Amino acid sequence: MSTLIVYASKYGCTERCAKLLSKELNDKVDLINLKNIKAIDFSKYDRVIIGGSIYIGRIQKEVTEFCTKNLDKLKEKRIGLFICGMQEGEMINTELNQNFPSELLKIAEVKSYFGGEFIFDKMNFMEKLIVKKVSKLTSDKSNILEDNIYKFAQKINSI
């Protein structure tokens, strides 16, 4: 079986999570950053895992456009979905459900949340200001949930 992991990453957290996930999968895995690719040959893959990070409640436009443009092809594949971000509690499920098409959410074999990071050196002035005000943080914080990545991979590997 062959798996494609497609993702969009603004500061690198989602990319890091996608790479961690790829190492846990039993399949042959190709990783594609949606910011660097135009066309994908879906015939090479049995499974497609789609991930992106959430900013102000929205996933990157590259992920939304990828899902919309390729919805018919994706519906023919086995699907996994994940998001990265710093939200907690029920907000995680809300963001997951609001940022992927309902057709994909219905058929997804695995859906999860991999945590996130605030790395101030990578943010512009306005982003730093917003994060400091909303999160009350003044220094970097990493909350990548490697256990969630491992559980996601275990579910995928067992299907």
Read off the pLDDT of residues 33-69 as tens digits, 9 standing for 90 and up: 999 887 899 999 999 999 999 987 899 999 999 999 9
Tell me: pLDDT of 136 over 80. no
Using alpha carbons, list the distances in angstroms from residue 129 to 58, 120, 126, 133: 19, 10, 5, 6
The answer to whether the beta carbons of residues 111 and 82 sit under 8 Å apart is yes
pLDDT at residue 38, as a whole number: 75
Region 3-13 average pLDDT = 93
Tell me: pLDDT of 157 over 80. yes
Region 81-104 average pLDDT = 91
| Confidence band, pLDDT 50/70/90 cuts, at residue 100 | very high
Percent of the chain with pLDDT over 70: 92
Percent of the chain with pLDDT over 90: 69
Instruction: Give the whole-angstrom CA distance, residue 135 versus residue 131.
Output: 5
| Confidence band, pLDDT 50/70/90 cuts, at residue 140 | confident
